């Protein structure tokens, strides 16, 4: 009996089992420009080593399971460990959103899985009318 097909089937089941243990919330978030945006990524898959957050296709923050948040060059971006969580859970915080913050937000557990969400940033323009006499 050829073992290769069974091995491939087993590994695909393992991959599916791992994938179901990761969650990114909310799936979609709309904020007003200048407001804070928060996304939460959690996993019960304990062997992960690094979590990277991406805005669009740009990596903006990395979290080491062992050491926590790796300092970012952007002071506007940070993360905090979730309190009261039975899983490994991190909250990604974009302190002051801008129009260019809009788009796909990704939580990537290296070599395990990745989940994506959408961030929408609303921009309001205030019109002022000046009366001249």
Distance CA 109, CA 106 (A): 10
Strand partners, 32: 122
- pLDDT at site 132: 56
Question: Given pLDDT bands bounded at 50, 70 and 90, which one contains residue 86?
Answer: confident
> Which tens digits make up the pLDDT trace of 42-66?
998 888 999 999 999 999 999 999 9
- pLDDT at site 133: 52
> Has this prediction a pTM greater than 0.75?
yes
> 16 and 9 in contact (C-beta within 8 Å)?
no
Q: Residue 92: is its pLDDT beyond 50?
A: yes
> 39 and 25 in contact (C-beta within 8 Å)?
yes
Which residue would you say has higher pLDDT here, 60 or 124? 60
Q: What is the DSSP string of 66-130?
A: TTEEPPPS-TTEEEEEPSS-SSEEEEEEESS--GGG-EEEEEEETTTEEEEEEEEEE--------
Q: Residue 30: is its pLDDT beyond 50?
A: yes
């Amino acid at each position: 009996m050829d073992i290769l097909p069974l091995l491939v089937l087993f590994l695909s089941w393992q991959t599916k089992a791992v994938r179901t243990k990761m969650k990114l919330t909310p799936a979609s978030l709309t904020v007003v420009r200048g407001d804070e945006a928060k996304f939460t990524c959690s996993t019960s898959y304990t062997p992960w080593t690094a979590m990277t957050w991406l805005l669009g296709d740009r990596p903006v923050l990395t979290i080491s399971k062992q050491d926590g948040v790796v300092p970012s060059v952007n002071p506007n971006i940070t993360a905090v460990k979730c309190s009261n969580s039975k899983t490994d859970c991190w909250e990604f915080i974009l302190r002051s959103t801008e129009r260019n913050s809009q788009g796909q937000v990704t939580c990537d557990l290296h070599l395990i899985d990745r989940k994506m969400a959408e961030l929408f940033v609303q921009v309001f323009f205030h019109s002022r009318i000046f009366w001249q006499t």
